[in-house]
Structure 1
Amino acid sequence: MPVQNKDDGGWKKFVWNSDTREFLGRTGGSWAKILLFYLVFYGFLAGIFIGTIQALLLTLSNYKPTWQDRVTPPGLTHSPRSDKLEIMFNMNDMSTYGKSVAAIKNFLKPYDDETQRDQLKYEDCGDQPDVYKNRGDLETEIGIRKACRFPKSFLGPCSGADDQNFGFSDGKPCLIVKLNRIVNYLPKPPQSNETMPEEAKSKVQPNLIPIHCTSKKKEDEDLLGQVAYYGIGPGFPLQYYPYYGKLLHSHYLQPLVAIQFLNITMNQDIRIECKVYGENIFYSDKDRFQGRFEVKLKVNNF
C-alpha cells in the first residue's frame, strides 16, 4: 500500500480550511480588502497617466506640428530621382530612360487639368509671381482652404504635352523640381543679390524664390551648356504659400520648376548643383537636399 505523506493534509488545509473558511490562509473578507486596495492603487496610477496624456493633447494643434525646427528650411527635390543621385542614359535607347520618363509622368499626375477643376478647392492665381495668398489662420473655423491651380502648361516643353519623353530622346532631359511642403511656412525672397553667384543675380525679382543650376566644378561649365527654366518665373512664386497641412489643404499643389539642359556635352559625366535663394533658406553639409540638390548627369549618344 502507498504511504501517505503526513504533510498532505496540512497543505490541503492551507489551500482551503473548511473549519475557518480560509483560502490560502486568509478569509474572504481579507482577500476582498487586498483586491480593493490594488484596484484603487492601480486605478489611481492609470488615472494620472490618462490625465497627463489628455493634458498634453490639449496643448497640441490638429493642424500644425508642434515642433518644426528640424524640418525648416525646406528641402529641394526633383523628379526623376535615383538612389545614387545620378541620371545616366542613352538618348537612342528608350530602355535606358524609360523609368525616368515614367517617374516624371507619375509625379505630374496630380497636376492634370481634370484634377484641378473643383471651384470649391482651386482658384486661378495668375501666371506671374505675386504676394502670399493668406487664407486665414490655421486655428480658425474656416475649414478647407482653396489652393492655387498649377497647370502643367506652365512647364513649357517639359510639360509632356508635346514631348512625351520630356527631352530624353533628344538628349535634352528635363528635371521637375519642387520645394518640399512645410505647414504655414513662408519662404522669403532674397533682399539683395550680393550673396548670389554672378550668373544668378539677374533672377532676383519681387515675390519669387529663384533657383539656379550650375556645374559643381568650375571646369565643367562649358560642358553643361545652356540651362532653361520653365514655370512661373525662374523659381517658386509666393502666391502658392502658405500651405495649410493635410487636414485643410489635402488638395494643395506646390509650384514646380522644370529645368531643361538644352545642349549638354554628350558622353561626359557632369555633376550639377541646383540651389534656391531666400532670406530664410539655408544650406547644410549634413543634409544635401536642404535648399539644394546635386545630381550627376551623363547623356550618351552611341
Structure 2
Amino acid sequence: MEGKKVEQFYSPPPKLGKWEGFRVFLWNSETGQFLGRTGASWAKILLFYVIFYAVLSGFFGAMLAVFYQTLDPNAPKWQLDNSLIGSNPGLGFRPMPPESNVESTLIWYKASDEGNYLHWTRELDKFLEGKKDTHERSAVNCDYGRPAPAGKVCDVDMTSWGQCTKLNKYGFSRSAPCIFLKLNKIFGWEPKFYNNTKDLPALMPADLKEHIRQEEKANRLDTVWVSCAGENPADVENMGAIQYIPRRGFPGYYFPFKNTQGYLSPLVAVFFEKPKYGVLINIECKAWAHNIIHDRFERRGSVHFELMVD
C-alpha cells in the first residue's frame, strides 16, 4: 500500500447564487479578474483595438483625401448629358403649398382674409430674401450685349415690379396674385435662342410669336421665352388677362450658370389681373428655346399648377 499512488479527482467549483455569481464576475478577488479578464488581458485587448481603429481611420482618411483630389468644389464632376439631371431644364413656380401637402400644386386662398393668404405671401418673402442686398454679393446691372464681367453676377432688381412686390403683398390681397417662375439651374447649360423669327415652332402660342417679332426690333432675341395658358378652354376663359413682369422671359445674360458666388437666378412674375373667383383654374407655363424639350408627364421644360381665388 505504501507504493500505491493516491488518485485525485476533479471537484467542480461550488455552486453560487445569481447575485453571488454576478459579484464574482464583476470582481474575482482570488484571481484578480475584472469582468472575466485580468488587468494585463484588458491592457492587451485595449491596445489591439486602439491600433486597429487608428489604422482603419488613417486608411479611410487617406482614401477620402484621394477622392477629394478628383473633385472640383465649384463644379460638378458629371455635367449636362453625363449627369443625372441631364441638359433639359425644368420650370418651377413659387409660392409652394405647405409642407404638409407637399405633393399638391394648388394655390388656393381667400383674398378677403389676410390670415388665409398669409402663408403664400410669407413663402414669397422667404424665396425672394436671397434677391435682396445685392450690393453685398457684387451684383451688377446687366443688359443685352452687356453681360456680367468675370467674377461678378447680374442683379435681379425687383423694386419696380409694380403689383408683384412685397409692399403690395404680391397682389394676393387684391385677388390678383403674382406667381413667380424660375428656370431650374443646370451647371454649364447654355440656351439656344430663337434668333430667327422664321424658325419659331408651330406649337408656340401666337401671342408669344408676335411678342418675339416686336423684341427683334429691340435686338432682345437672346431670351428664354415664357408662355402661360389655361390647359383647357374653360381654364383659358377663367384665367383672364395676365402680365409678365419685368419681361416675358429669362434674359440670356444670366446664362450659363457657373456657380459664381452670389449668383441670382432670373425670375418672371406672372400677374393674373382678374382670375374668375371660386373656380379651379389649371395653368401650364412653358419655357421656350431650341434646346428645351417639353414633356408634361416628366415635367421637363414646363410646369403645371392650379389657382383658385375665393
TM-score, normalised by the number of residues in structure 2: 0.69
Q: Contact 1:80–1:176 (CA<8 Å) still a contact in 2?
A: yes
How do 1:5-154 and structure 2 match up within 5 A? 5=10, 57-68=68-79, 69-71=83-85, 72-82=87-97, 83=102, 84-112=104-132, 115-118=133-136, 121-126=138-143, 129-130=144-145, 133=148, 135=150, 145-154=151-160
Residue 265 of structure 1: aligned partner: 276
Residue 222 of structure 2: aligned partner: 207
Aligned CA-pair RMSD: 3.1
Residue 274 of structure 1: aligned partner: 285
Q: Contact 2:231–2:283 (CA<8 Å) still a contact in 1?
A: yes
Which is higher, the Rg of structure 1 or of structure 2? 2
Residue 173 of structure 1: aligned partner: 177
Residue 163 of structure 2: aligned partner: 157
What is the alpha-carbon distance in structure 2 between the residues aligned to residue 107 and residue 189 of structure 1?
28
Mark the runs of 5 or more structure 2 residues left unpaired by the alignment.
Answer: 1-7, 12-47, 216-220
Kindly state the Cα deviation for residue 222 of structure 1 after the two structures are TM-superposed: 1.5
Percent identity between the two aligned chains: 25
1:238 is the counterpart of 2:252: yes
* Count of aligned pairs: 247
SS in 1 for 2:163: helix
Q: Return the match for 2:294 from 248, 267, 283.
A: 283
What is the alpha-carbon distance in structure 2 between the residues aligned to residue 63 and residue 52 of structure 1?
21
| Larger RCO, structure (CA 8 Å, separation 6 or more) | 1
What is the alpha-carbon distance in structure 1 between the residues aligned to residue 208 and residue 237 of structure 2?
16
What is the alpha-carbon distance in structure 1 between the residues aligned to residue 281 and residue 70 of structure 2?
50
Greater Cα offset, 272-281 or 49-58? 49-58
Kindly state the Cα deviation for residue 166 of structure 1 after the two structures are TM-superposed: 1.2
Residue 193 of structure 1: aligned partner: 200
What is the alpha-carbon distance in structure 2 between the residues aligned to residue 187 and residue 131 of structure 1?
17
Q: Contact 1:133–1:241 (CA<8 Å) still a contact in 2?
A: no
Mark the runs of 5 or more structure 1 residues left unpaired by the alignment.
Answer: 7-34, 136-144
TM-score, normalised by the number of residues in structure 1: 0.71
SS in 2 for 1:166: helix
Residue 21 of structure 1: aligned partner: none
